[in-house]
Amino acid sequence: MSRPLGTFPNHPRPYQSYVYAYPHKTAYRPLEDRPSLRELWAAERKDMLSLYLHIPFCEVRCGFCNLFTRIGAPDELSTRYLDALDRQASAVREALGDTDPVRFAAAAFGGGTPTFLTADELDRLCDIAEKRTGADLRAVPLSVETSPATATADRLAVLAARGATRLSIGVQSFDDREARAAVRPQRRADVESALACIRDARIPVLNIDLIYGIHGQTPLSWRSSLDAALAWEPEELYLYPLYVRPLTGLGRRAQDGDNAWDAQRLRLYREGRDLLLDQGYEQVSMRMFRRAGAPSHAADDHACQTDGMIGLGCGARSYTSSLHYSFDYAVDMHQIRGIIDDYTETKDFSRAEVGRRVDEDEARRRHLLQSLLQAGGMEISGYRERFGHHPAEVFGAELDRFAAFGWLDEAASPDRLRLSADGLAYSDALGPELFSPDVRAAMAAYEPK
């Protein structure tokens, strides 16, 4: 049964941090030793890698966005960026070596907005992924992010021909007034036109992103957006709570400390969840819902908890078992432009510049986080096999606290640690409770720029 906000003493607030990766990038720091990529990957398994290419350009910067992206690409910046991406991909493939088999099990183009690139530039992006890294885009799941303004027929035709299996479009709201409130200028007619183009391209999985908690949004307008999205029968829907973060277009609004806003978002989340479940969607995580019978986009043999990731582009992260690394991170547009300019001028991509070491404690936390925040939960025997103990031996206090809040599914099998419906609803509170003290301190010390 769902409990109202604040039922429990010391109940955490529901919207603290979206934990999509751990450790968070604000815990990364410049690496004084600048380790070589060849050394970092020498002892790693390379037969089930994930490949991510980051395009840091958008036609507009949404008011809620704190992603690493800039508006536009003047003076042939996109060409210079792809040139640098080509150099980086070649350097990374050389660092992976030839002694062990290198295989990519999944690929994604994100941003920013990858479809900000022209059709010819998207073709070149696919060439970089295939010819430089060796990834076979037609043989693995390939997800690409797009926007209503850039989901054009010529771009989508390239992606379909090159093997894209999933298109994710950030609609956020079908209500023009709400879109303006989120500083996302768009017209519903253009959104519908873009969705028609995606369906015409016959890419197997369509995902639509929607946001709840927008200023002025009501249960009625939220339901209207949900119904408009469902009319396209998307294979996936993501429901995101609105966050107001520093240095973003909405960052001046002092809403993050508002209990009434928390309660509104939680109510809208539950209404959206219940509607999608009633419409035959299954809940995969707090945010993700998949239509029953729709093809799964996930790679069968890639596990995000354990397998490595190669990130290409100045906003991408790479993961080895002992180090997560990337480039510098910023939200401020001036800072982002400088980082992108530095990236395009880089000739030597053979070393890791910015990152965070991952010791066994952090690996345990990451495994638990990335498993528990999925609706299916975590197989305890798999965790025990990897780390040699039951998770309660290390995380007993946290798990007891989760149980006291009603966040754990007491009906789960003895070998399964799984969240209840309330636990999933509070994922953005539960996740941060598992951060290590060191990561918390590093995130707190980070100065937004």
- The CATH number for 88's domain is 3.80.30.20
Number of folded domains that form the chain: 2
Q: If you average pLDDT over residues 310-318, what whole number do you get?
A: 95
User: Residue 2 above 50 pLDDT?
Assistant: no
**Residues 196 and 56 grouped into a single domain:** yes
**Residues 276 and 134 grouped into a single domain:** yes
pLDDT tens digits, 233-250: 999 999 999 988 666 566
**Residues 61 and 191 grouped into a single domain:** yes
What pLDDT score does 248 carry?
A: 59
**Residues 58 and 206 grouped into a single domain:** yes
Please classify residue 348 by burial: count the beta carbons closer than 10 Å to its beta carbon, then call 0-12 exposed, 13-18 middle and 19+ buried.
Answer: exposed
98 assigned to some structural domain: yes
| Boundary-marking domain end, from 264, 291, 318 | 291
Which pair of structure tokens corresponds to residue 341? 């300019």
| Boundary-marking domain end, from 259, 291, 323 | 291
* Cα(307)–Cα(376) distance, integer angstroms: 19
Q: Which residues, 6+ apart, have CB-to-CB distance to 221 below 8 Å?
A: 173, 175, 178
**Residues 57 and 204 grouped into a single domain:** yes
Task: Tell me the one-letter amino acid at 10.
Answer: N
104 assigned to some structural domain: yes
302 assigned to some structural domain: no
Q: How confident is the model at residue 333 (pLDDT cuts 50, 70, 90)?
A: confident
Q: How confident is the model at residue 254 (pLDDT cuts 50, 70, 90)?
A: very low
Please classify residue 393 by burial: count the beta carbons closer than 10 Å to its beta carbon, then call 0-12 exposed, 13-18 middle and 19+ buried.
Answer: exposed
* Cα(320)–Cα(402) distance, integer angstroms: 30
What pLDDT score does 43 carry?
A: 93
* Cα(147)–Cα(62) distance, integer angstroms: 11
* Cα(30)–Cα(172) distance, integer angstroms: 35
**Residues 372 and 259 grouped into a single domain:** no
Place of tokens 């992260």: 317
pLDDT tens digits, 95-139: 999 888 999 999 999 999 999 999 999 999 999 999 999 999 999
**Residues 192 and 47 grouped into a single domain:** yes
**Residues 272 and 379 grouped into a single domain:** no
| Cβ atoms of 272 and 212 closer than 8 Å | yes
Residue 387: its H or E element: helix 380-387
Strands 309-312 and 236-241, by their bridges, are unpaired
328 assigned to some structural domain: no
Alpha-carbon distances of 48 from 266, 301, 303, 310, 379, rounded to whole Å: 37, 7, 8, 11, 20
Task: Tell me the one-letter amino acid at 227.
Answer: D
What pLDDT score does 1 carry?
A: 39
Which pair of structure tokens corresponds to residue 170? 């950030």
Percent of the chain with pLDDT over 70: 92
Query: Which structural domain, as residue segments, surrounds residue 404?
Result: 359-449
| Boundary-marking domain end, from 269, 291, 313 | 291
* Cα(54)–Cα(317) distance, integer angstroms: 9
Please classify residue 32 by burial: count the beta carbons closer than 10 Å to its beta carbon, then call 0-12 exposed, 13-18 middle and 19+ buried.
Answer: exposed
Which pair of structure tokens corresponds to residue 417? 């640690």
DSSP line for 79-133: HHHHHHHHHHHHHHHHHH-SSS---EEEEEEEES-GGGS-HHHHHHHHHIIIIIT
Q: How confident is the model at residue 299 (pLDDT cuts 50, 70, 90)?
A: low
Residue 427: CATH number of its domain: 1.10.10.920
* Cα(340)–Cα(447) distance, integer angstroms: 19
**Residues 127 and 274 grouped into a single domain:** yes
**Residues 134 and 266 grouped into a single domain:** yes
403 assigned to some structural domain: yes
pTM given for the model? 0.93
331 assigned to some structural domain: no
Find, among 93, 41, 25, the residue nearest to 322 by Cα.
41
DSSP 3-state assignment of 233? coil
What pLDDT score does 6 carry?
A: 44
What pLDDT score does 304 carry?
A: 76
Question: For the chain, first and last CA: distance in Å?
Answer: 42
Phi, psi torsion values for 192, nearest 5 degrees? -65, -40
User: Residue 68 above 50 pLDDT?
Assistant: yes
**Residues 257 and 365 grouped into a single domain:** no
**Residues 277 and 377 grouped into a single domain:** no
Q: Which residues, 6+ apart, have CB-to-CB distance to 32 below 8 Å?
A: none
178 assigned to some structural domain: yes
What pLDDT score does 374 carry?
A: 96
36 assigned to some structural domain: yes
User: Residue 64 above 90 pLDDT?
Assistant: no
Q: If you average pLDDT over residues 150-161, what whole number do you get?
A: 98
- Reported residue count of the chain is 449
User: Residue 210 above 70 pLDDT?
Assistant: yes
Which pair of structure tokens corresponds to residue 94? 């050389």
Find, among 420, 422, 404, the residue nearest to 412 by Cα.
420
Residue 169: its H or E element: strand 166-172
Q: How confident is the model at residue 65 (pLDDT cuts 50, 70, 90)?
A: low
